[in-house]
Amino acid sequence: MVNIETIRSALNTKGYFFATEALQSHENLLHDQIEKLSKSLGTPRRGRHGKLIEELTPKSEREAPTNSLSKKFGIGRFPFHIDSAHHLTPSRYLVFGCMEAKGEVASTLLIHAKNIELDRVQRDALKTGIFLVKNGRNSFYASIEPRNSKFIRWDPGCMFPKDNHARIAADAISRWPNPKSSKTINWSRGSLLVIDNWTMLHARGVVSDHHGHRSLLRATIA
């Protein structure tokens, strides 16, 4: 297991930590390592179906859960987003461990919020545009970059523009990023990725190998 201070240092300086062969990829061992690391970073938050650690595999639109990005994009490329945007305060960190990776299947793309290339009108729209953030009975209204906050909020799967500024912001975001500004994570068994979910946006690459397979375990930390 990588030293926790090494991970914290990388999170503070560049917004993410990635290492290959950092974890034992057997499911039970990987689960335990992800859980231990998550508790070292903060308080793990339960996700879909109440699980602290969730398994992620590319799914077709037919197989995907309702209201998920997979339901909308299937095995195509996901747009850039943060996780848990539907919470009033999004999760601070995301921890991913790779259990299996065969073929060219669903890389992860990263971009730091400070590297997003926007003009002044678009940048202002991030702060002033109002979106409906859907979360069942707990739905609320918010902007992408709330004033005086420490995080950026964006997920097209649960955020819907309600005014012209929001539409400008959403249109600008849909064109992110300049490929030169993003980092591509290619998965292999035992790889570890930790993301500062307040400052980094991530996306999933296209599933280019239909005979391949990729399985990740993910934990979110408040």
Q: Using one digit for the tens of pLDDT, what is the confidence trace for 68-118?
A: 777 777 767 788 999 999 999 999 999 999 999 887 678 899 999 888 888
Of all helices (H) and strands (E), which one includes residue 171? Answer: helix 164-173
∠ CA 150-43-32 to the nearest 5 degrees?
130
From the CB of residue 25, how many other CB atoms can be counted at a distance below 10 Å?
19
Global pTM reads: 0.90
pLDDT confidence bin for 177, thresholds 50/70/90: low
Same domain, residue pair 101 and 200? yes
Residue-level length of the chain? 222
Which tokens is 11 given? 């999170």
**Alpha helices (runs of H) in 42-118, residue ranges in sequence order:** 69-73
Which tokens is 202 given? 């991530």
Same domain, residue pair 57 and 105? yes
Give the domain range for residue 91: 4-113+179-221
Same domain, residue pair 8 and 30? yes
Same domain, residue pair 104 and 128? no
Answer positive or negative: Cα dihedral of 99, 101, 106, 110.
Answer: positive
Last residue of a domain, one of 175, 190, 213: 175
Q: How many domains does the chain have?
A: 2
How many Cα atoms occupy the beta-carbon half-sphere of 21 within 13 Å? 0
Q: What is the pLDDT of residue 213?
A: 81
The CA dihedral of 174, 179, 183, 185, to the nearest 10 degrees, is 80
Question: Above pLDDT 70, what percent of the chain?
Answer: 92
Mean pLDDT of the chain: 88
DSSP state of 27: H
Same domain, residue pair 98 and 127? no
Which tokens is 170 given? 């959403």
Same domain, residue pair 15 and 125? no
